[in-house]
Amino acid sequence: MSDGDFAAFLEMGGYALYVWGALGMCGVAAFWEAVMLAHRRRRVLDDLRADLWPAPAPERGHGASDIPS
Res 49 pLDDT > 80? yes
Q: What is the pLDDT of residue 29?
A: 98
51: pLDDT confidence band, cut at 50, 70 and 90?
Answer: confident
Which class for 22: exposed (0-12), middle (13-18), buried (19 or more C-beta within 10 A)? exposed
Res 58 pLDDT > 90? no
Question: Phi-psi region for residue 34, left (φ > 0), alpha (ψ -120 to 50) or beta?
Answer: alpha
Question: Phi-psi region for residue 14, left (φ > 0), alpha (ψ -120 to 50) or beta?
Answer: left
- Mean pLDDT for 32-56 is 92
User: Can you tell me the distance from the alpha carbon of 39 to that of 32, in angstroms, rounded to the nearest whole number?
Assistant: 11
The CA R_g of the chain, rounded to the nearest whole Å, is 29
- Mean pLDDT for 23-44 is 97
